[in-house]
Amino acid sequence: MSPRLLGAVALALGLGGCSGPPPATPNPEPSATVTAPTATTDRPVLGAPRPFTAPRPTVYQTSQGLTVWLIEKHDLPIVSLQVVLPVGAADDPPGKGGLAHITAGMLDEGAGERDALTISSELNDLGVELSTSVSRDGSAIGLTVLRKHLDRAMAIFGDVIARPRFEPSEWKRVTDLWITSLERRSDDPGSVAAVTRSAVLYGPDTPYGHPIQGQPDTARSVSLGEAKSFYTASWRPDQAHLVVGGDIDKAQLDALIEKHLGGWKKPAQPLLPRSAAPKPLERRPKLVVVDRPDAPQAVIAVCGPGVAAGDPDAPLLDLVNTALGGSFTSRLNQNLREDHSWTYGARSSFTEARGVGAFVAQASVFTKVTGPALSEMLREIDGLAAGGLTEEELRKVRAQDLTDLIQTNERMSGLVNRLGDLAILGLAPDHDARASEQRQAATAPALAALAKAHLDTSEVSIVVVGPKSQVIPQLRTLGRGEPELWTDEGRPAE
């Protein structure tokens, strides 16, 4: 270090020019008496939350049978729009898992007069990202754009929805990427757990049991012709919803629909019948292990039957779940993460589905504590089922419900996406507003009864993804029988 730099450092430390220790500085006399704070258990009492009314869309149909949900909001020059239809992975034909997924993925790979590169380039010029998604119950495609670019964006959007090309060259590129992603899915233990628990709960080859994205073998069996046929039968205006929100009124929207989606006509053939709403298997494995040799962590998932999204109990079960594992301060997270430091986070949920959904509680924990962590998870579920929520938990989950509702409605893209989910599930556009009113009026006894009815650990299945040599000895101590070995694609191991 240079002498100049040494001098600067010494000066900064108060040592410049001193060969000995610095002179002692006398302690200053206190200017006032400091009184130690008095411990208290009193907490500030919050007043009643201010009421929040979620916006309700204008609902109407176009001449081609397209149902429109429109929310006008003119404070920002932004418009979000989404087309959704109630056809998803549950409608994949037998042996063709992933067909709905890859069909939606092909929509923007060339449409109308634009090839895939042109679509991507023009959307990029507009600052727009086009997103497609497929769930078990539906498919969706949408975008958010500045109002001044809406006409140009909808020209592309209309082509993608109504005039996709399905070109063989793009099909090969997209399906190659699709199969590669499926082959690499086993690298992610969380994805393996999700695939396996659905297969365990519903059966591997059922509408809700097979993976939404499919499996490598089913992906290889799907042809371009099958994707085209699936599009023609499914992507039709008479079973679709167009959800729009933002700086636009009905007259302006109608003109854009006629200009860019007016040529989207329903085909002559009748709508395909919907599959029966799936239900979990009555008889299913109780304890399943997917082997990941030498993994330092194990994923543990507790899964069981939930309820359909339209079930009258569903809104209040949201509150029960928030207390159990639906927030950072939930019982599962506080126990496994904060008290024991076994995981970065533990969560639970009642999944939304047109049929009977699932209850899932899941965490990634150190492999060496798989058994104790699972025991604690089951103990917390049993405890909530036996005793219900405390009054403090009831206040907290009500506040969380109101916060969630406000956050969903805060961003127009979030609100449009949520309305799209409701349309797919067959729920009314004001469902969330009415559900929140029901949750805000919930009582502790009502929630206790629901917890007792829907949180029964004797009926659950347990899936563990981890090294079998380490986790199986721990699982045997739980008294739930001998674990079954399954593959990472959600099938019993041979």
Closest CA to 202 of 136, 140, 274: 136
CB 213 within 8 A of CB 182: yes
CB 146 within 8 A of CB 96: no
For residue 348, what are the CA distances in angstroms to 303, 318, 398?
Answer: 9, 10, 17
Closest CA to 365 of 302, 306, 456: 302
Backbone angles phi, psi at 146, to 5 degrees: -65, 145
* 494 residues of the chain, pLDDT tens digit each: 444 433 433 333 333 333 344 444 344 433 434 444 455 556 666 666 666 777 889 999 999 999 999 999 999 999 999 999 999 999 999 999 999 999 999 999 999 999 999 999 999 999 999 999 999 999 999 999 999 999 999 999 999 999 999 999 999 999 999 999 999 999 999 999 999 999 999 999 999 999 999 999 999 999 999 999 999 999 999 999 999 999 999 999 999 999 999 999 988 888 877 777 789 999 999 999 999 998 999 999 999 999 999 999 999 999 999 999 999 999 999 999 999 999 999 999 999 999 999 999 999 999 999 999 999 999 999 999 999 999 999 999 999 999 999 999 889 999 999 999 999 999 999 999 999 999 999 999 999 999 999 999 999 999 999 999 999 999 999 988 999 999 999 999 97
Alpha-carbon distance of 302 to 293, in angstroms, equals: 21
Alpha-carbon distance of 209 to 356, in angstroms, equals: 12
Model pTM above 0.85: yes
SS3 state of residue 69: strand
Name beta bridge partners: 310. none
For residue 358, what are the CA distances in angstroms to 180, 349, 373?
Answer: 29, 8, 21
Q: What is the dihedral sign for C-alpha 232, 236, 239, 242?
A: positive
